[in-house]
Amino acid sequence: MTPTRKILIVGAGIGGLSAAIALAQAGLEVDVVEIEAASRAPGVGFGLRTNGMRAIRELGLLDACVAIGTVGAGLTYYDNEGNHLCDLYYEEGEEGMPSNLNLSRLGFVEAATARATELGCRFRMSATVSSLEQDPDGVDVVFSDGGSGRYDLVIGYDGVNSQIRDEYFGTQYGPTPAGGVAWRIPLPRPEGLESTMFCQGYGGKFVFAPLPDDLMYIVLTVAEQDRPRYDPAEMPQIMYERARALMGDSTFMAESIELIRSAPSVTYSPYSTVWVPYPWFRGRVMIMGDAAHAMVPYLGSGAAMGIEDGVVIAQELGRDQSLVETQIRFMARRLPRVRAVRDRSMESMYQEFDTLTDEALQRRYAWLRHDEPIANEYSNRLLAQPY
Ligand X SMILES: Cc1cc2nc3c(=O)[nH]c(=O)nc-3n(C[C@H](O)[C@H](O)[C@H](O)COP(=O)(O)OP(=O)(O)OC[C@H]3O[C@@H](n4cnc5c(N)ncnc54)[C@H](O)[C@@H]3O)c2cc1C
Q: Which residues bind ligand X (CB under 6 A)?
A: 10-16, 33-36, 39-40, 43, 46-47, 128, 157-159, 163, 182, 269, 289-290, 297, 300-304, 306
- Dist CA 220 CA 121 (whole Å): 40
Question: Judged by CB, which is closer to ligand X: 26, or 207?
Answer: 207
Q: Which residue is nearest to ligand X (CB)?
A: 13
**Three-class SS state of 5:** coil
**Three-class SS state of 136:** coil
**Three-class SS state of 320:** coil
**Closest separation in Å from C-beta 121 to ligand X:** 14
Question: Judged by CB, which is closer to ligand X: 46, or 78?
Answer: 46
Question: Judged by CB, which is closer to ligand X: 17, or 85?
Answer: 17
Crossing angle of helices 14-25 and 302-317, in 10° steps, is: 20
Question: Judged by CB, which is closer to ligand X: 88, or 361?
Answer: 88
Contact 303, 52 (CB under 8 A): yes
Question: In 69-174, where does DSSP find H-type helix?
Answer: 105-118, 163-168
- Dist CA 157 CA 163 (whole Å): 10
**Closest separation in Å from C-beta 45 to ligand X:** 7
**Closest separation in Å from C-beta 317 to ligand X:** 19
- Dist CA 311 CA 113 (whole Å): 16
- Dist CA 299 CA 289 (whole Å): 15
**Closest separation in Å from C-beta 302 to ligand X:** 3
**Closest separation in Å from C-beta 191 to ligand X:** 28
Question: Judged by CB, which is closer to ligand X: 276, or 360?
Answer: 276
